[in-house]
Amino acid sequence: MRIKSRKANRRRTLTPSPSGVLVTFEGTEGAGKSTLIRKLKERIEQSSDDRLAQREVVLTREPGGTAVAEKIRELILGHGMDPWTELFLYEAARAEHLAITVIPALKRGAIVLCDRFTDSTLAYQSHARGLPWKSVKALNEFATQGLHPRITFHLDLDPAIGLARVREQTRFEAEGVAFQAKVRAGFKKSQKEDPNRWVRLDAQRKNADELADAAFEALKKRLTRRSGIRPPALGKRKASR
Ligand SMILES: Nc1ncnc2c1ncn2[C@@H]1O[C@H](COP(=O)(O)OP(=O)(O)O)[C@@H](O)[C@H]1O
Ligand SMILES: [Mg+2]
């Protein structure tokens, strides 16, 4: 094994040969996830650091992000159903999304900004709906084949404020503040299990631009850390399937 010089170890630069980075955004309905993702993309693309500005940025979402997964999204949002059915549909959409959109983008070296991911499934289907946490986690692992986000932002907001902002209601918004409060607690449980992956943003105290600035600074910091200069974060996932 080659031993790196101390100087090389101390280097704090963005990766010179970019590898993909998966960044996910979580929060209750109306917390500002979609707004933040759009603003963060602009900040990356307009960054004064070329190594960031030149990277491909992919915006995607769950459930969705491919033709088939968007169809599954319509099915989930349009119908009430058994919680297990709902869970399996989310995981089916996720497997498709990873295979068709996320993994190819990471292999190209893109920064993938994903609106909701595995933590939403834990927060909604387990913590709020009551399915066993371990089962949901296990199914998340199957659907992603072990791929974990490099960074997960939690837009933390009083669910009542978020719901009041939302104009178009799906059946999840219609379940009201008490349900969203359980979802919020579910995100906090996820954070306790894996604190290093999460960055909490106080969506109550900051406006949309301040949140985007904070997220951009956190992203830059993570990408310049030594742990961030590794090959694509593909986890245990095999390169081909
Ligand atoms: N920081 C913020 N402060 C006030 N309003 C916001 C903020 N972020 C987003 N909004 C507004 O709140 C609504 C929901 O935002 P959105 O980004 O769609 O939330 P989400 O994707 O989390 O459901 C939109 O009308 C948006 O313009
Ligand atoms: Mg949204």
Q: Which atom belonging to ligand 1 lies closest to the Cα atom of 36?
A: 17
Using CA atoms, how far apart are residues 153 and 33, in angstroms rounded to an integer? Answer: 9
Q: Kindly report, residue by residue over 84-96, the tens digit of the pLDDT.
A: 999 999 999 999 9
Q: Are the beta carbons of 23 and 2 closer than 8 angstroms?
A: no
Which carries the bigger pLDDT value, residue 2 or residue 215? 215
Nearest Cα residue to atom 27 of ligand 1: 35
**What is the residue-averaged pLDDT of the chain?**
88
Q: Which of 9-23, 38-52, 106-120 has the lowest mean pLDDT?
A: 9-23
Q: Which of 165, 172, 209 to mutate to test the pocket of ligand 1 (most atoms within 8 A of CB)?
A: 165
Q: Which atom belonging to ligand 1 lies closest to the Cα atom of 25?
A: 22
pTM for the full predicted model: 0.88
Which ligand is in closest contact with the Cα of 32? Answer: 1
50-67 burial code (b ≥16 CB/10 A, e <16): eebeebebbebbbbbbbe
Using CA atoms, how far apart are residues 17 and 109, in angstroms rounded to an integer? Answer: 8
How much distance in Å is there from the Cα of 15 to the middle of ligand 1?
32
How much distance in Å is there from the Cα of 208 to the middle of ligand 1?
8
Using CA atoms, how far apart are residues 35 and 33, in angstroms rounded to an integer? Answer: 5
How much distance in Å is there from the Cα of 235 to the middle of ligand 1?
32
Angle at 142 between CA 136 and CA 143, to 5 degrees: 90
Q: Which of 25, 33, 34, 35 to mutate to test the pocket of ligand 1 (most atoms within 8 A of CB)?
A: 35
Percent of the chain at pLDDT exceeding 70: 86
Identify the band that residue 18 occupies on the pLDDT scale cut at 50, 70 and 90.
Answer: low
- Which of 164, 159, 152, 150 has its CA nearest to residue 122? 152
Using CA atoms, how far apart are residues 206 and 201, in angstroms rounded to an integer? Answer: 8
Q: Kindly report, residue by residue over 148-196, the tens digit of the pLDDT.
A: 999 999 999 999 999 999 877 788 888 899 999 999 999 999 999 999 9
Angle at 176 between CA 23 and CA 66, to 5 degrees: 35
How much distance in Å is there from the Cα of 102 to the middle of ligand 2?
18
Residue partners of 112: CB distance under 8 A and separation at least 6:
20, 21, 22, 23, 58, 60, 102, 105, 106
Q: Which of 33-37, 54-58, 190-194, 234-238 has the lowest mean pLDDT?
A: 234-238
Nearest Cα residue to atom 8 of ligand 1: 32
Strands ordered across the beta sheet of 111-115: 57-61, 111-115, 21-26, 151-156, 198-202
Asked if residue 214 has its Cβ within 6 Å of ligand 1, the reply is no
Which carries the bigger pLDDT value, residue 14 or residue 207? 207
How much distance in Å is there from the Cα of 19 to the middle of ligand 1?
30
CATH number for the 20-227 domain, one of 3.90.550.10, 3.40.50.300, 3.20.20.370, 3.30.2290.10?
A: 3.40.50.300
Nearest Cα residue to atom 17 of ligand 1: 32
pLDDT, residue 3, reads 43
Instruction: Please compute, for residue 150, the number of CA atoms within 13 A of its CA located in the half-sphere on the CB side.
Output: 27
Q: Which atom belonging to ligand 1 lies closest to the Cα atom of 35?
A: 17
How much distance in Å is there from the Cα of 185 to the middle of ligand 1?
20
Q: Which atom belonging to ligand 1 lies closest to the Cα atom of 206?
A: 1
For the record, the structure tokens of 80 come out as 């009430």
Mean pLDDT for the stretch of residues 213-231 = 77
Q: Which atom belonging to ligand 1 lies closest to the Cα atom of 29?
A: 23
Q: Are the beta carbons of 216 and 113 closer than 8 angstroms?
A: no
